[in-house]
């Protein structure tokens, strides 16, 4: 039921019928003639009119943005829905780099990293369904589904394996899942402070994480009825995020754990580089609920130890620390460092397993 509602609200036109229903109910009450019905009906008609104006505004802004910002890459069919990829650069006989940002963000979040990498090797940005220039896609949105959609999109775009998959935060969880399911396509994985699901299942309550899904729902409704400034984006992006973030709760994780958690040894001897900060710089909010210094120390230790758990997923893993003073958002804070780590991995793999140069496909 919840995902059916999200699927409806994800359509940019959905605000129009909602507004008309509200106004129609108001009109029906006006027809009753009773004092209370007239008062309530007039209110609902007014509310419906405001909602309709906002819904039309949203459609106008969305159409204007689509004209002003056409897709820079290629739209490919994945299961009857169009997904957007931007592929540039020459693989030069080595693996192709595929970038997946954190949260449920569009590939554009990593545009700078992609551009820097494409000058050295082949690089691909992917807009998951419900983000960027991709269509919203089917509901529910899940990590398990996206782990199948990503390689399908790469194949549809003509991109040739093997790939080096690079994922940040929630995107790190996704690419680890792709590597587990499709080891034949993957030459290596670079995990940029990936989300360890232990912190969802066992960490103390985190108001920030708990409030994220509600925030996405609020933003979806605001956008649907034009209550945003400027272009504002699409309501579908927020609905897709609200759907997939249902996994990020103890109860949500319990239902998808076997399909979503990457366990010790799941990646065999696949080369894996885990890139994490040394400390909790930028993440001090997780300590805010500690009752005393002893609990704060325990919470800090829990998060720091959880950060390294992906090292056990492969027997060929290694740890790299980010520059001092950087936190979880280090891909934005130190892009040159991140690109350097990734291109080093590509260079190592190219030497270890040379192959004929793949002809670049795409724009």
pLDDT at 238 over 60: yes
For 191, the enclosing helix (H) or strand (E) is: strand 186-192
Mean pLDDT for the chain overall = 90
- Give dist(CA 154, CA 170) in Å, integer: 20
Per-residue pLDDT averaged across 13-39, rounded? 95
3-state class of 270 per DSSP? coil
pLDDT, position 316: 97
Higher pLDDT, 286 or 199: 199
Highest mean pLDDT among 59-68, 109-118, 290-299: 109-118
Structure tokens at 349: 């793999």
DSSP string for residues in 65-124: HHHHS--SSEEEEETTEEEEEEEES--TTSPEEEEE-STT--GGGGHHHHHHHHTTS-EE
Phi, psi of 143, deg, nearest 5: -60, -40
Q: How confident is the model at residue 210 (pLDDT cuts 50, 70, 90)?
A: low
Contact 331, 113 (CB under 8 A): yes
Q: Which residue has the tokens 């991140």?
A: 338
pLDDT at 231 over 70: no
- CA-based nearest residue to 253, from 243, 241, 261: 261
pLDDT, position 293: 87
Chain centroid to CA 99: how far?
Answer: 11
pLDDT at 240 over 80: yes
Q: Within 13 Å of residue 306, how many CA atoms lie on the same side as its CB?
A: 18
Contact 218, 200 (CB under 8 A): no
- CA-based nearest residue to 28, from 40, 11, 41, 16: 41
pLDDT, position 353: 66
pLDDT at 357 over 60: no
Q: How confident is the model at residue 290 (pLDDT cuts 50, 70, 90)?
A: confident
pLDDT at 128 over 50: yes
Q: How confident is the model at residue 155 (pLDDT cuts 50, 70, 90)?
A: very high
- CA-based nearest residue to 85, from 152, 134, 147: 134
pLDDT at 217 over 80: yes
Name the percent of the chain lying above pLDDT 70.
94
Higher pLDDT, 353 or 244: 244
Q: How confident is the model at residue 360 (pLDDT cuts 50, 70, 90)?
A: very low
Q: How confident is the model at residue 112 (pLDDT cuts 50, 70, 90)?
A: very high
pLDDT at 355 over 50: no
Domain positions in the chain: 2-68, 74-197+261-352
DSSP conformation class of 359: P
| H-helix segments, the chain | 2-9, 15-32, 35-68, 111-118, 143-156, 170-181, 198-201, 207-224, 235-244, 250-260, 293-306, 330-333, 335-352
Per-residue pLDDT averaged across 21-27, rounded? 97
- Give dist(CA 107, CA 207) in Å, integer: 27
User: Which residues sit opposite 74 in a β-bridge?
Assistant: 85
- Give dist(CA 80, CA 308) in Å, integer: 38
Q: How confident is the model at residue 236 (pLDDT cuts 50, 70, 90)?
A: confident
pLDDT, position 28: 96
Pairing of strands 163-168, 272-276: unpaired
DSSP conformation class of 323: P
Q: How confident is the model at residue 363 (pLDDT cuts 50, 70, 90)?
A: very low
- Give dist(CA 218, CA 238) in Å, integer: 9
Q: 130 exposed, middle or buried (CB, 10 Å; 0-12, 13-18, 19+)?
A: buried
Q: How confident is the model at residue 287 (pLDDT cuts 50, 70, 90)?
A: confident
Q: What's domain 74-197+261-352's superfamily in CATH?
A: Alpha/Beta hydrolase fold, catalytic domain (3.40.50.1820)
């Amino acid at each position: 039921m919840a995902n059916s509602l999200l699927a409806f609200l994800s359509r940019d036109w959905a605000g129009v019928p909602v507004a008309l229903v509200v106004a129609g109910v108001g009109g029906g009450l006006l027809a009753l003639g009773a004092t209370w019905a007239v008062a309530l009906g007039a209110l609902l008609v007014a509310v419906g009119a405001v909602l309709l104006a906002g819904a039309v505004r949203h459609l106008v802004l969305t159409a204007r943005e689509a004209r002003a910002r056409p897709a820079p890459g290629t739209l490919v069919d994945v299961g009857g829905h169009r997904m957007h990829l931007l592929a540039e650069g020459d693989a030069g006989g080595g693996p192709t780099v595929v970038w997946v940002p954190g949260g449920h963000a569009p590939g554009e979040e990593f545009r700078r990293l992609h551009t820097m990498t494409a000058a050295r090797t082949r690089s691909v940005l992917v807009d998951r369904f419900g983000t960027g220039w991709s269509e919203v896609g089917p509901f529910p949105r899940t990590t398990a589904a996206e782990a199948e959609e990503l390689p399908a999109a790469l194949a549809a775009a003509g991109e040739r394996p093997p790939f080096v998959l690079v994922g940040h935060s929630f995107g790190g969880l996704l690419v680890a899942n792709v590597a587990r399911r499709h080891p034949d396509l993957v030459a290596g994985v670079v995990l940029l402070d990936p989300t360890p699901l232990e912190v969802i299942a066992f960490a103390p309550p985190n108001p920030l994480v708990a409030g994220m899904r509600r925030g996405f729902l609020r933003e979806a409704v605001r956008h649907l009825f034009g209550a945003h400034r400027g272009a504002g984006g699409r309501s579908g992006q927020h609905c897709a995020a609200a759907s997939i973030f249902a996994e990020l709760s103890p109860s949500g994780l319990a239902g998808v754990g076997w399909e979503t958690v990457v366990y010790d040894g799941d990646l065999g001897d696949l080369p894996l580089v885990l890139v994490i900060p040394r400390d909790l710089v930028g993440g001090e909010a997780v300590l805010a609920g500690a009752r005393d210094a002893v609990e704060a120390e325990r919470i800090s230790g829990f998060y720091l130890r959880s950060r390294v758990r992906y090292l056990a997923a492969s027997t060929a893993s290694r740890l790299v620390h980010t520059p001092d003073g950087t936190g979880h958002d280090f891909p934005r804070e130190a892009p040159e460092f991140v690109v350097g780590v990734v291109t080093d991995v590509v260079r190592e793999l190219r030497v270890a397993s040379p192959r004929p140069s793949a002809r670049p496909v795409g724009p």
